[in-house]
Amino acid sequence: MDRTLQLIRQLRPEGQAAAIWLINEARTAGLPAIVVETRRSRARQHALVAAGASKTLQSKHLLGRAMDVAIAGVATDAVPVEWWSWLHDLWESIGGARRIGWDLVHFEW
């Protein structure tokens, strides 16, 4: 089940329209983008850092100002880097923050 809209509703209100726009643009272009994570608890963030899946305890996810995106049906490490570059260029074109180099699935503002 695609929980994209449910997860987007967990974001701060000022980011919800931008998140919906990005996902819709991707899907219109034939890229089945989905949101897989948005707001996180401090405990979850600590667990991700401990597991090496995040490098900071000060993530924008804690504030509802970040989301992680995936391509439905494609393993993250199998997504061509050109797809991520295109998505991040779109995100930046509407005022989203420049991506963190190593974390291609991460989008924040």
What's the rounded Cα separation, in Å, for the pair 7 and 2? Answer: 10
**Structure-model confidence comparison of residues 42 and 103, the more confident one:** 42
The pLDDT, as a whole number, for residue 102 is: 77
> Do 35 and 67 touch, CB atoms closer than 8 A?
yes
Beta strands in the chain (DSSP E): 33-37, 66-71, 106-108
Work out the burial of residue 82: count CB atoms within 10 Å of its CB; fewer than 13 is exposed, 13-18 middle, 19 or more buried.
Answer: exposed
**Structure-model confidence comparison of residues 97 and 98, the more confident one:** 97
Residue 76 counted as domain residue = yes
pLDDT band at residue 101 under the 50/70/90 scheme: confident
pTM: 0.92
Domain containing 23: what range?
Answer: 4-100
Say yes or no to pLDDT of 66 above 90: yes
Half-sphere exposure of 74 (CA within 13 A, CB side): 16
Q: Is 25 helix (H, G, I), strand (E, B) or coil?
A: helix
Residue 106 counted as domain residue = no
The pLDDT, as a whole number, for residue 1 is: 66
Within a 10 A sphere around the Cβ of 94, how many other Cβ atoms? 12
As for how many domains the chain has, the answer is 1
**Average pLDDT of every residue of the chain:** 95
Residue 29 counted as domain residue = yes
Say yes or no to pLDDT of 100 above 80: no
Residue 105 counted as domain residue = no
